[in-house]
């Protein structure tokens, strides 16, 4: 699949078929995530690969929008080290997440971003569950698997959201 097709076809996938994700594909997802741009090249990301159903059940117990973890064979918690570069860890880990999502589409996988940070009801509970040190904050969890749905290209370009030089100076 060429890059443009990956970009325009990527969608959040919330249901998965009963098929394990191969370890080499998980490795490629992580490599893509770590290829993301990073402010001052601090690379504050840390990743927790989750395959344990009991852990996923516990996450579903406190995260209201995580039901897809019931079917997902793997989830990846994208975390940031606030000590690495406290002002930009969220942006850096968001860029890593986007790379991971695009690579999932490229590999024929489905994935969805489940937000954690800054929701107080979510991220501290995930940090406790995953036994994260105090400086490591979970930004999100990405549910990954083989989707039961095909993505269709969608163009969201909106000329009204483009401004030149100043806002509303079209």
pLDDT for res 136: 98
pLDDT for res 2: 85
> Once rounded to an integer, what is the mean pLDDT over residues 29-52?
98
pLDDT band for 170, please (50, 70, 90 cuts).
low
For residue 30, pLDDT over 80 is answered with yes
C-alpha 92/C-alpha 95 separation (Å) is 5
Tens digits of residue pLDDT in 50-95:
999 999 999 999 999 999 999 999 999 999 999 998 899 999 999 9
- Which helix (H) or strand (E) segment is 54 a member of? helix 53-62
| DSSP code per residue over the chain | --HHHHHHH--B---B-S-PPPHHHHHHHHHHHHTS--GGG---EEEEEE--HHHHHHHHHH-TT-GGGGT-SEEEEEEEETTT-TTTHHHHHHHHHHHHHHHHHHTT-EEEEEE-TT-TTTHHHHHHHTT--TTEEEEEEEEEE-BSS---------GGG--SSSTT--
Residue, of 8 and 65, whose pLDDT is higher: 65
Tens digits of residue pLDDT in 86-139:
899 999 999 999 999 999 999 999 999 999 999 999 999 999 999 999 999 999
- Which helix (H) or strand (E) segment is 76 a member of? strand 74-81
pLDDT band for 163, please (50, 70, 90 cuts).
very high
Task: Decide if 12 contacts 107 (C-beta within 8 A).
Answer: no
What is the helix, strand, coil percentage profile of the chain, to 5? 40, 20, 45
> Once rounded to an integer, what is the mean pLDDT over residues 12-25?
95
């Amino acid at each position: 699949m060429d890059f443009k097709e990956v970009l325009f076809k990527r969608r959040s996938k919330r249901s998965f078929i009963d098929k394990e994700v191969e370890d080499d594909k998980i490795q490629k997802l992580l490599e893509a995530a770590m290829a993301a741009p990073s402010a001052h090249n601090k690379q504050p990301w840390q990743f927790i690969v989750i395959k344990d159903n009991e852990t996923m059940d516990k996450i579903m117990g406190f995260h209201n929008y995580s039901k897809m973890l019931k079917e997902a064979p793997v989830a990846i918690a994208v975390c940031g080290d606030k000590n690495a570069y406290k002002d930009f860890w969220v942006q850096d880990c968001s860029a890593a997440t986007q790379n991971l999502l695009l690579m999932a589409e490229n590999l024929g996988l489905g994935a969805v971003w489940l937000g954690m940070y800054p929701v107080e009801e979510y991220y501290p509970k995930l940090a406790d569950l995953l036994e994260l040190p105090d400086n490591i904050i979970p930004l999100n969890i990405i549910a990954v698997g083989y989707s039961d749905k095909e993505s269709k290209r969608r163009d969201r370009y909106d000329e009204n959201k483009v401004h030149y030089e100043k806002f509303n100076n079209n």
